[in-house]
A and B are shown apart, each in its own frame.
Chain A
């Protein structure tokens, strides 16, 4: 087992663990902390597989902005920021569905040949050029979606609405 594989294993375990913790702790603020760790952990995985630009993006957007936004959401909707959340019981159907998804996807993916392989890495310059020429339409679509979302968000939160 190479050093990279070991690192990946550890990072993957941490990712799964923090994701589960985030969903199961009773304090909402603790949830945010765990999800923050989760994002940072994923960012490390991105660096590991030679996608540094995505890693930085993950740190900035997720670990930075999204976490703060979520925290902000909790802050404005609560009178006391630390209060325990009543955990709803684990329903039979949701648990079964989640397990079914995992088993099913694992089965499907198991059909494909596995094994170890060298990772292809990309030049950030090439990526940026591809993003603005070949795949420019994705950015345009994203911009449109963002514009619509912005309008929608403003509509939702504006004052005087019944």
Chain B
């Protein structure tokens, strides 16, 4: 066994190091004051984890298509109805091409965000809590990435959600942060419950088709053959339902319509948390779930259409809302929702690998945008774009980083976003001949290209361009951030500029080709491997690039050089603006549903509680209160009296056991 294969056996260590940091910081707490309240511990352990993750990824690139699964059986349920050969619950790590890619994304972004936090969070209190939970989050996310079966995946998936809850509510004294944390937790929980139901349906279906797979714990490595053996039409209704449930889970985590409202509100957390969790990793887990689902479980054609529809609609839905918001973090958050829509769209159309490629590039440039925004917020202590302006001269590094991220997001060649987004659009275009029902979603995605470049450059111009800030004095106090914040931005800027082109390196491209070995994939699926499409469809690329440039120009015309575009005069345009600013009234709709539906149920429950249950309880209470009023006379406080009670009781007991009980038994005719 050579070094690289040996290394894959130890993949468990990658999530273990952040877990260790969690334990150390969590238990020592403020005693780590000299190490930036535990910050440096978290950075060092995340760094070790990153080195290990990169080594594993390099090993995967050197030996393309390696699948190394190390697992231990937690417990086994013997054969029973539905599981002819039994069912095992397995915990283990699976190193395969896509998890190697995810390792790169998660450990790199995790490490740079930890480093950035040292500078960004310096002035906050409660830092041990922050670093401990952030480390735990990294562990959980790596657990999701390395999980080798759906149950373990779900376990870490939930842990990720819990960490997200804690981190969104980091400023728990602020009511809006606390309620945003709750909202994020509850909305994703709606998806999670359905996801769990989906897992159960999958297990029951596949256990019947492939009992051995169930007996081995539904390891991903043995997947897919069962789906292909199933053939089309067999049990397809149930299978469709399971796929829809899985989609619901992914939509909850990745904030897809209609479970999207929590992500913009989650910006109440620290910006670093937004960068790591709500841009690069956790929200991408939903997409990763769909990728895994399409690779190892299989979706039916109805599922595929539902995924395309949700993804396609979410792109334009979120992008349109991003155009009117004035909070710099919310603009980027809506952008995240929109970009995640692209990935979901790609996975649904059958291009899981293309979607994964966009996940990778998006993680880089979106984390970069958040870190740059965080740097701005750090300097001017406001998030309102309309107050900023003219910051470019004061913060050159930050402006450069934000610009790099904005170009990547808009899809201007050769920035990272161009390669992946264009890949999605052209791949989808290729499918249109077979699936004409994808047309509306293709057009939505295409229109979103324009919107994307418009809203991100609107944010850029508002924040950085112009002679000076719109709120007097704001730009005067602004200053460039310390090196711990600049270095992460520079690393990610590099990735945003050249990260997309890595795909032309054969070793890196092999990460997108899980079908290389036949052992894991008995039947090769129609996979589209990323670098192929944009080279072919030059015309399509040109269209989207032109749209993006158009977006930038419109943004410049309206907001460039310190201009403020007035609100349009016409009635429909004003109404539209209002609708977008109110977020399509979706939050109101949620409230209304909760108010009418849940409140009437609560009223009924309240009636039962007050009159039926409380009445019974009070009846008991009165009886015993009266009884105890009489019993309290016994309590004299004198020891001898208590001794008398004890002895009287003992004698009574003995009399009952020795005389009364035998007499009763003999009367009743017992032995």
Contact = CB atoms under 8 A, between A and B. Distances in A.
Interface of A: 93-94, 97, 100-101, 104, 108
Interface string B634-662: 00000010001001100100110010000
A101 B654 CA distance: 10
Contacts of A94: 640, 644
Top 3 nearest A-B pairs by Cβ distance?
A97-B647, A100-B651, A104-B651
A93 B648 CA distance: 10
B648 A108 contact: no
A93 B638 CA distance: 15
Contacts of B640: 94
Contact of B644 (A97, A104, A108): A97
A104 B648 contact: no
Contact of A97 (B651, B654, B658): B651
Contact of B658 (A93, A100, A101, A108): A108
Interface of B: 640, 644, 647-648, 651, 654-655, 658
Contacts of B648: 97
Contacts of A93: 644
Contacts, number: 15
Q: Is the interface of B mostly helix, strand, loop or mixed?
A: helix
A127 B644 CA distance: 37
A155 B640 CA distance: 24
Contacts of B647: 97, 101
A67 B585 CA distance: 90
Contacts of A104: 651, 654-655
A108 B640 CA distance: 26
A124 to B, nearest CB: 35
15 contacts: A93-B644, A94-B640, A94-B644, A97-B644, A97-B647, A97-B648, A97-B651, A100-B651, A101-B647, A101-B651, A104-B651, A104-B654, A104-B655, A108-B654, A108-B658
A108 B654 CA distance: 10
Contacts of B651: 97, 100-101, 104
Contacts of A100: 651
A54 to B, nearest CB: 27
A104 B655 CA distance: 8
A101 to B, nearest CB: 6
B403 to A, nearest CB: 74
Contacts of A108: 654, 658
A108 B647 CA distance: 17
Given A93-B644, A94-B640, A101-B651, 7 more contacts: A97-B644, A97-B651, A100-B651, A104-B651, A104-B654, A108-B654, A108-B658
A46 B647 CA distance: 28
A94 B645 CA distance: 10
B643 to A, nearest CB: 9
Nearest to B641: A93
A100 B658 CA distance: 15
A141 B654 CA distance: 28
Contacts of B654: 104, 108
Contacts of B655: 104
Contacts of A101: 647, 651
Contacts of A97: 644, 647-648, 651
